[in-house]
Amino acid sequence: MTTRSGASALMAFVLLTTGLTGPAAGNAEVISVSDTHFALRHEARSNLSPQQIWDRLVQPSTWWHPDHTYSGDAANLSLDLQAGGLWREDWDDKSVAHGRVLFVDPGKVLRLDAPFGPLQGLGAYTVWTITITPDEDGSVVVFDEVSTGSPVAKLTDVASAVDYVKGEAIRRLTADSIGE
C-alpha cells in the first residue's frame, strides 16, 4: 500500500497555473492506493449556501464536465434522487448507469455506489460520499471515495485519473457560477 500526499501539492500547482484559485479552490488527497483499492478525499469551500450547492449537485447535467461522459454531452446526465435511484446518462440508443444512490440526506449528504468510467470495466466496487456543511457565509463540500477491486484491477493505475476527474468535479460544483 502506498500513501500519497503529493496529490495536494499537484492540486495546488494546477490551481495556481490555471487560475482556479479563490472560493472554489480546495484540497485533494489520495489517502491510500494499492492494486486492490484506493481512497480519495477532496474538500472545497464555496461562497454558495448549502442549499445552492445541493440544488446544483442533484442536477449533474449543470456541473459535471462533458469530457467525462460517454456521450460527450453533460446534458444527457440525470439523477433519480432516492435510494436505488440512478445517476444515468442516456443518448441516442445508448445508456449507462454511472452510479446507484445508496443514501440521501437532503441538503447534507449524497452517497452513491459509483464505479464511474473505467472502474465499471474493472469490476471495482466504489462508494462516493458527498457531504455539504455550512461554513460562515458559504459551504464546505467534501468528496470521499473508496474503491476496491480484485488484484487484476490494478487500481493503482487508475487512482490518479479518478483523483483528477473528482478534483475537477468538485471545482465545478463549488464554483460561484456554472462554467467556472
Q: Please check the confidence at residue 23 and state whether its pLDDT lies above 90.
A: no
Return d(Cα 180, Cα 3) in angstroms, integer.
31
Domain that residue 121 falls in: 6-174
Query: What's the CA dihedral at 39, 44, 49, 53 to 10 degrees?
Result: -50
Q: Please check the confidence at residue 8 and state whether its pLDDT lies above 50.
A: no
Per-residue pLDDT of 63-93, as tens digits, reads 999 999 999 999 999 999 999 999 999 999 9
CATH number of the domain where residue 51 is located: 3.30.530.20
What is the per-residue pLDDT for 3?
A: 36
Determine, yes or no, domain membership for 59: yes
The model's confidence at residue 28, banded by pLDDT at 50, 70 and 90, is confident
Whether the Cβ atoms of residue 169 and residue 64 lie closer than 8 Å to each other = yes
Determine, yes or no, domain membership for 179: no
Determine, yes or no, domain membership for 1: no
Q: Please check the confidence at residue 29 and state whether its pLDDT lies above 70.
A: yes
Burial of 115 (0-12, 13-18, 19+ CB in 10 A): buried
Phi and psi angles of residue 75, each rounded to the nearest 5 degrees, phi first = -65, -15
Determine, yes or no, domain membership for 166: yes
Q: How many domains would you assign to the chain?
A: 1
Return d(Cα 41, Cα 30) in angstroms, integer.
7
Determine, yes or no, domain membership for 17: yes
Determine, yes or no, domain membership for 96: yes
Determine, yes or no, domain membership for 86: yes
Per-residue pLDDT of 48-68, as tens digits, reads 999 999 999 999 999 999 999
Determine, yes or no, domain membership for 93: yes
